[in-house]
Amino acid sequence: MNQAVQAAAPAAKRKPKETGVPDNKKYLHPTLLKNYGNWKYHDRPRPGVLHHVAHGGDEVWSVRAGTARQMDVYTIRKLCDIADNFAEGRVRFTIRSNIEFIVSDEKKVAPLIAELETSGFPVGGTGNSVTMIAHTQGWLHCDIPGTDASGVVKSLMDELYDEFRREEMPNRVHLSTSCCEINCGGQADIAIIVQHTKPPVINHDLVANVCERPTVVARCPVAAIRPAMVNGKPSLEIDEAKCMCCGACYPPCPPMQINDPEYSKLAIWVGGKNSNARGKPTFMKMVASGLPNNAPRWPEVADAVKNILHVYKEDARPWERIADWIDRIGWPRFFEKTGLPFTKYLIDDWRGSRANLNASTHIRF
Amino acid sequence: MAKKMHDTPNLDQLEPGPWPSFVTGLKDLAKDKNYVVDLLGQLEESYKTRKGYWKGGTVGVFGYGGGVIPRFTELKNEDGTAKFPDAAEFHTLRVMPPPGMHYDTATLRQFCDIWENHGSGLIAFHGQSGDIMFQGATTDNVQKAFDEINEMGFDLGGAGPAVRTSMSCVGAARCEQSCYDEAQTHRAVLNTFLDDIHRPSLPYKFKFKFSGCPNDCMNSVQRADMAVIGTWRDNIRTDEALAKKWFVKHGMDELVNDVVARCPTKTFQVKELKKIKSGEHISSVAVNDTHGIEINNQDCVRCMHCINVMTGALATGTDKGATVLVGGKSHLKIGGLMGTVVLPFIKLDTEENVEKLVDFAERTIEFFAENALEHERTGEMIERIGLANFLDAMEVDVDPAMVSSPRMNPYVRTDGWEDEVAKINAKKQAA
C-alpha cells in the first residue's frame, strides 16, 4: 500500500451532534420537577437558606454556598460528595457562581451547612447579604487583561466573608470586577473596573502584519486613530489629545499595548441595579479612580470598597439598594460621607451627558 | 507526580483567608500535571509584571467555527521557545449548561473525569455569558474533550460575532415569581439559532437572556440584545393568611416605611378596612382586624417591590407573559445602553405563543445581520437608525409603553401624520 497516500487521506472525523441547549428536566431535583411552575411563596429561615413552599404543600430548602468559580476537579468532586452524602444529589449554580444544594427534608439543612463550612465553603449569599463577586478571567486566561480577576475576588471575599454569611445590609449588594474597560463583569451595586490613564504604546514594527488597520480606526469611539507610515512601514498613529485611553483599539490590534503596570489604574463604580424593583434599572456611576493595580491582594481597592459598604450599611434604610440610598441622600452627601474626592473627571462629558447634570435648584444643604 | 513547582511568592499570598482559594485548587492540580505547574509559573509572572501573556489564535472543533477560546503563551525565551512550555497552549471550551444551571452529581463527576483526562482539570461554573468554561486544553486535546462532552448531550456555546450562550433564571423550577416557562422559552429560542451560535457570521455578538419576572435576576436589561422579562397584566393576587402572618412579624412601621413609601407609583395604600374600595382593578387584603392593603393595579408598573417584601401575601397575577426589550449592551463603543421596550407584552403560555417569540427573534437577527455595521450591537444600530425604523422593519406597531416620554424637540418631518392616524384608526376599527 502506498504509504504517502494513506498519510494524506483525511482521518475519519466525528461530526458534532448539534444538540444545543440541553433540557434541564432530567437534572432538576424531583420536588422541583413535581412542582414546576406551581410555587406559592418562599422565606429565608437563616442566611444562606431559602425555603420554598408549593401550592400543594411540598417544601424544599436550598442551601447556598460560595465557591471560587474557577474550580479544580477535586473541589468539584468534594462538592458532589457533599451533595450525595448530605443532600439529595441535585445542585444548581447561581449567576454569581454560588452553588445551591436542594433538599426536601428540613432535618438535612443543619448537617449540610455544617459539612459545607467544615469543608471550607461559606454558606450565605442570600437576601440582604454581600454576595459573591461576578467576575471575569483576568491574567489566568484573557488575552487583553489589565489585571487579574480571580485574585481580586479572592482578596476581597476574604475581607467580606462575614458579610457574605450574614444578612445585615440594608438590601442585597451585588459586586463585580472587570479586568478591562469592556466591563465583562457587568453592572453592580459596586464595581471595580480597570481604568487606563495613558494612550496605548504602539509597536510600529508589528501593526502592518497583525492588525486590519481600517477595523482599528473604526473601533475608536473618539476617532483618535488614523493610518500613518512610521519608519517606512504602514502603521497607525494616535491623536493623544483626543484619546481617552479606553483600550478599544487593543483587542483588534495587540501591538497597541494599552496595559501598563503603573498607569493602568482601578476605578470604583456604584449604583448599578438591574432589578425593576422600586425605581427603574440604573447604570452604575464612577465615583473613584486612580487606585493602584496592586497585586497580589489589592489592599487599596479592598479599603475603598469596604469604606463604601460601611457607610451604606450605617446610613441606608431597609430595602434601599445603593442606588436608592444615593437617590435619597444625594451625591454631595455620598461624597461627604464616604470621604471620596469629587473631581472634574466625574462630570460626564460623553454623548447624552447633559441629562446627568443638575438642571434644577434641587440641592441638599 | 508532576515536575517541581515554580516559586510563586505572589500567588502564595492568595491561599490564606477564609474564602475558597483558586490558587490552592491550581496547586492541587499541579501535583499531578506539569501543565498546571507551568500555568502557575506564567500566572505568577503576570502577578510580578502586572501584564497578561495570552494571545488568541484559531483553534476549533471539526464542524464548528466557534465555541473554543484559543490561548497561546506570549511569554517566550530569547530563542522564541515558550518560557513555560507545558502550558504554551491553554484553550477554553465554552459549553452551554441546562437552563437554570441545574445538575446531578453524576453529570458533574463525568465532566471532571473528562477534563482531568484531556484538560487542565480547571472548570469555571460559570462564565459571564453563562457557559460552563472548561479552561485549559492543548490544541490536540480540544477535539477529544469536545467529543466526550458532546456525547454526554452537551454542546458548545457561542464566541465571536455569533449568537451567544444564553442564561435563564431558576424560574418556574423553584420561584413563585416566575411569569413564564423560562427554560422552555430559552431552549426554543436558542436552539433555533444553532447555526448562528456555532458558525459566527453576524456583524457582532447577539445575546438573549431570560428572566422570569421584573426582578431580572439574569441582568438582561443591561446586557442582552434581546431581554425577555416576565410580567403580568391582571391584578396582583393576595393571600390573607400570609398577609396577616407577615404583619404580625413586621408591624405597621415596616408596612408603611418599607412598602407604602417605596411604591414607585404610590398605588399601594394602607387603609382602614371599611374604607377599602373594591373594583375590577383593585387588589385588597386585610393585614389585621382594622387595616388592609389596597392596590389599584391600573397604576401599578409591576416593579415587584411589594411582592418581594411580602412574598406569598402578595403575588404576581395569573395573566402572565413577558415584556421584550431590545438593544442592551455594555460600554463599547458608544457607551452603555439599556434594552428598550419593543414588545410591551406577549403571552408565552403555549408552544404557538413561544413560536411567535422565536419568529420575532429570527426577524430581529435577520435585520441585524443585514443592517448592522461591523462590530455594531443591536442597541447601537437602533440608535443610528431610530427605533421607529426598527419597529417598521419588524412590523411592530408603535406603543407609548416604548418611551419614557414623547419627543422633546421639533426636529422631525411630520408630513405623513394624517396617513399614520388613518392607519391607526383603521387598525382600531378592524380589531
A347 touches chain B (CB under 8 A): no
pLDDT on residue A252: 94
Report d(CA B375, CA B287) in Å as an integer.
55
pLDDT confidence of residue A1: 42
- For residues B203 and B186, what is the distance between their CA atoms, to the nearest angstrom? 23
Per-residue DSSP letter, B26: H
Q: How far is B160 from chain A (nearest CA, A)?
A: 12
- B223, pLDDT greater than 60: yes
Q: Which of B18, B222, B331 sits opposite A274 (nearest CB)?
A: B222
- Residue B13 in this model has a pLDDT that exceeds 70: yes
Is residue B54 within 8 A of residue B71, CB to CB? The reply is: yes
Mean pLDDT of chain B: 97
pLDDT band at residue A9 using 50, 70 and 90 as cut-offs? low
Residue B38 confidence (pLDDT) above 50 = yes
Which residue do the cell numbers 499531578 mark? B32
**Looking at chain A, which residue has its C-alpha nearest residue B329?**
A186
Q: Residue B196 belongs to what H/E stretch?
A: helix B194-198
**Taking the CA atoms of chain B, what radius of gyration do you get in angstroms?**
27
Closest CA to B20 of A160, A67, A97: A67
Beta-carbon contacts of A260 under 8 Å, excluding residues fewer than 6 positions away, are A196, A198, A201
Closest Cα in chain B, distance from residue A365 (Å): 23
pLDDT band with cut points at 50, 70 and 90 for residue A3: very low
The answer to whether the CB atoms of A158 and B19 lie below 8 A apart is yes
Decide if A18 touches B, using CB distance below 8 A.
Answer: yes
A110 pLDDT above the threshold of 90: yes
- Closest partner residue to A27 (CB to CB) among B98, B146, B167 is B98
Looking at the complex, report in whole angstroms how far the Cα of residue A231 sits from the nearest Cα belonging to chain B: 25
User: Contact A319/B262, CB-based, under 8 Å?
Assistant: yes
As a whole number of angstroms, the distance between CA A42 and CA B305 comes to 15
Q: Phi and psi (nearest 5°) for B107? A: -65, -45
Cα–Cα separations (whole angstroms), residue A230 to A233, A237, A343, B104: 5, 8, 37, 59
Verify whether the Cβ–Cβ distance B222 to A97 is below 8 Å: no
Are the beta carbons of A24 and B14 separated by less than 8 Å? no
Q: What angle do CA B28, B29, B31 make, to 5 degrees?
A: 70
Chain A 319-338, CB below 8 Å of chain B: which residues? 319
Q: Is the pLDDT at A5 greater than 70, yes or no?
A: no
* Grid coordinates of A159: 475581607
pLDDT digit string, tens, across residues A77-88: 999 999 999 999
The model's pLDDT over A242-270, given as tens digits with 9 standing for 90+, comes to 999 999 999 999 999 999 999 999 999 99
Kindly state the average pLDDT of the residues A95-124.
Answer: 98
Q: Are A171 and A317 in contact (CB under 8 A)?
A: no
Whether residue A290 is predicted with pLDDT greater than 90 in this model: the reply is yes
Which H helix or E strand runs over B116? Answer: helix B105-118
From residue A274, alpha-carbon distances to B216, B222, B420 in Å are 6, 7, 35
User: Chain centroid to CA B430: how far?
Assistant: 38
B339 CB-contact burial (10 Å; exposed 0-12 / middle 13-18 / buried 19+): buried
Contact A39 B218 (CB under 8 A): no
Question: Given an 8 Å threshold on Cβ–Cβ distance, is A28 in contact with B102?
Answer: yes
Among B346, B353, B233, B361, smallest CA distance to B300 is for B233
A90 to chain B, any CB pair closer than 8 A? The answer is yes
Nearest to A166 by CA among A190, A132, A130: A130
Nearest CB among B13, B19, B63 relative to A66 is that of B19
Cβ count within 10 A of residue B424:
12
Q: Helix, strand, or coil here: B256?
A: helix
CB A113 within 8 A of CB A101: no
pLDDT in tens, B97-150: 999 999 999 999 999 999 999 999 999 999 999 999 999 999 999 999 999 999
* Pick among A17, A25, A41, A97 to test the B interface (most B CBs inside 10 A): A41
Mean pLDDT for chain A? 95
| Distance between CA atoms of residues A43 and A53, nearest Å | 9
What pLDDT score was predicted for residue B84?
98
Element (H, E) at B293: strand B291-296
Q: What is the pLDDT of residue A10?
A: 57
The Cα of B429 is separated from the nearest Cα of chain A by a number of Å equal to: 35
CB-based contact B215 A277, cutoff 8 Å: yes
| Residue B215 to residue B213: CA distance in whole angstroms | 5
The residue length of chain A stands at 365
- How many separate helices (H) and strands (E) can be counted in chain B? 13, 17
Name the residue among A89, A182, A297 with its Cβ closest to that of B330. Answer: A182
pLDDT at res. A239: 97
Task: Give CA–CA dist A323/B319, Å, rounded.
Answer: 31
10 Å Cβ neighbour count for B226?
A: 28
- HEC string for chain A: CCHHHHHHCCCCCCCCCCCCCCCCHHHCCHHHHHCCCCEEEEEEEECCEEEEEECCCCEEEEEEECCCCEEEHHHHHHHHHHHHHHCCCEEEECCCCCEEEEECCHHHHHHHHHHHHHCCCCECCCCCCECCCECCCHHHCCCCCCCCCHHHHHHHHHHCHHHHHCCCCCCCECEEEECCCCCCCCCCCEEEEEEECCCCEECHHHHHHHCCHHHHHHHCCCCCEEEEEECCEEEEEECCCCCCCCCCCCCCCCCEECCCCCCEEEEEEECCECCCCCCCCECCEEEEEEECCCCCCCHHHHHHHHHHHHHHHHHCCCCCCHHHHHHHHCHHHHHHHHCCCCCHHHCCCCCCHHHHCCCCCCCCC
Q: How far is B311 from chain A (nearest CA, A)?
A: 6
Please report residues of A whose CB lies closer than 8 A to that of B154.
19, 22
Contact state of A221 with B156 under an 8 Å Cβ cutoff? no
User: Residue B248: exposed, middle, or buried by beta-carbon count in 10 A (0-12, 13-18, 19+)?
Assistant: exposed
- What is the total residue count of chain B? 431
Supply φ then ψ for residue B315, to 5 degrees: -150, 160
Nearest to A52 by CA among B250, B179, B105, B312: B312
In terms of CA atoms, which chain A residue is nearest residue B146? A16
Do residue B63 and residue A16 have CB atoms under 8 angstroms apart?
Answer: yes
pLDDT in tens, B155-213: 999 999 999 999 999 999 999 999 999 999 999 999 999 999 999 999 999 999 999 99
Transcribe B213-233 into DSSP letters: STT-TT--TTT-SEEEEEEES
C-alpha B305/C-alpha A278 separation (Å) is 6
Average pLDDT value for residue range A324-344: 98
What letter represents residue A125's amino acid? G
Beta strand pairing call for B208-211 and B226-232 = parallel
Contact (CB<8Å) B332/A248: yes
Chain segment A201-238, per-residue pLDDT in tens = 999 999 999 999 999 999 999 999 999 999 999 999 99
Kindly report, residue by residue over B339-378, the tens digit of the pLDDT: 999 999 999 999 999 999 999 999 999 999 999 999 999 9
Q: Any CB–CB contact under 8 A between A89 and chain B?
A: yes
pLDDT bin (cut points 50, 70, 90) of residue A12 is: confident
Query: Minimal Cα–Cα distance from B421 to chain A, Å?
Result: 31
Q: Which residue of B has its CA nearest to A247?
A: B332
Any idea of the CA torsion for B14, B17, B20, B26, to the nearest 10 degrees? 30
Q: Hey, which residues does B312 pair with through a beta bridge? A: none
Would you call the peptide bond into B126 cis, given omega within 30 degrees of 0 as the criterion? yes
Q: Cβ of A289 under 8 Å from any chain B Cβ?
A: no
Please give the single-letter amino acid code of residue A75.
Answer: T
CB contact under 8 A, A71 and B61: no
Cα separation, A94 vs B95, in Å, equals 16
Tell me which residue of A133, A61, A140 sits closest to A95, measured CA to CA: A133
Strands of B299-368 (E only): list them. 314-315, 320-326, 340-346
Would you tell me how many other CB atoms lie within 10 Å of the CB of residue B353? Answer: 16
Q: How close, in Å, is residue A161 to chain B by CA atoms? A: 7
Single-letter code of the amino acid located at B209: K
Question: Residue type at B229?
Answer: I
- Cβ–Cβ gap A41/B150 under 8 Å: no
* Confidence at residue A107, expressed as pLDDT on a 0 to 100 scale: 98
What are the pLDDT digits (tens) for B63-105? 999 999 999 999 999 999 999 999 999 999 999 999 999 999 9
In chain B, which residue's Cα lies nearest the Cα of A19? B155
Please identify which residue in the block is written with the cell numbers 476605578.
A267
Which residue of chain B comes nearest to A23, CA vs CA?
B98
Task: Give the helix ranges, DSSP H, for B322-401.
Answer: 351-371, 378-385, 387-394
Kindly determine whether residue A52 and residue B174, on different chains, have CB atoms separated by under 8 Å.
yes
pLDDT given at position B72: 97
Residue A4's pLDDT is what?
46
Considering only alpha carbons, which residue of chain B is nearest residue A254?
Answer: B55
CB-based contacts of B146, cutoff 8 Å, min separation 6: A16, B61, B68, B93, B156
A61-75 burial, b if ≥16 CB within 10 A, otherwise e?
Answer: bbbbbbbbbbbbbbb
Contact A154 B305 (CB under 8 A): no
Q: A-chain residues within 8 Å CB-CB of B172? A: 36-37, 39
Say yes or no for a CB contact (<8 Å) between B105 and A158. no
